[in-house]
Amino acid sequence: MKVRLVAPPWGKPNLTKEAKEAIDILEENVWASASVDFYAKRQALAHAGKHAPKGMQQTLNSIIDRKFLDNGWEGNSGYYVKNTTWIRVTFRHQMSLGSDIIDALKVCKKEGIELAVILAANRDTLNVVSPNDAAALISFEKLHREILNLNGALDIPLLIGEMTPKSTASKIIDDALRKNRPRDITIPIEKRR
């Protein structure tokens, strides 16, 4: 994933070496690996006549978890810490946006974190990651608006970041990811008398 960092209006904190490392981790074939893994899992389940996953958040989260842990970071489920740098990578529902910001506030004020970074995909990327739920997920645009609204209320060393696909898998896989993946339709069973 390509990452573009943005400072909040209350100040631009110094970028730690760990934050630079986190960006390098995310930019190193995360998107291509997730695309290949998701496509393979989806194809296997579809060919077996089973329900195939519609969104690739779980695949992205697994790859990101593995890459951070392999590089000496502590954490999981999108939360990572190394030395005094805290990273939140989110593909969650927009209702959790406030809790991500509060988590950043707590680690900075209570746990000695010198830099907190919250990363979210932009809306166009979310349309590919989870076409059925993109509007309900935390997008970079929503994160950015919320951070702007918190000017004067927060003073923590925070950066936010926009994630977009950087690497691509093959054209076949990329085309498959951009196809419509509609929701399953459930047909109610008639009541028996």
Position 186 scores a pLDDT of: 46
pLDDT at residue number 189: 47
Average pLDDT, the chain: 90
Predicted confidence at residue 132, as pLDDT, reads: 85
What is the SS3 string spanning 38-74? HHHHHHHHHHCCCCCCCCCHHHHHHHHHHHHHHCCCE
Name the amino acid, one letter, at 26.
L
Taking the model in full, what pTM does it have?
0.88
All domains of the chain in start order, with CATH: 2-178 (3.40.91)
According to the model, what pLDDT value does residue 180 have? Answer: 67
DSSP structural state of residue 133: T
